Amino acid sequence: MDRNSMSSSTPAITITRRLEFDAGHRIPHHNGQCRHLHGHRYAIELTVSGDVLETPGAADDGMVLDFGDIKRLANEHLVSLWDHAFLVAKEDQVVVAFLASMPNHKTVILDRVPTVENLAHTAFAILEPIFAEAFQGRLRLASIRLYETPNCWADISQT
Residues recognised as catalytic? 34, 84, 148
**Residue 137 and residue 127 in contact, taking contact as beta carbons nearer than 8 Å:** no
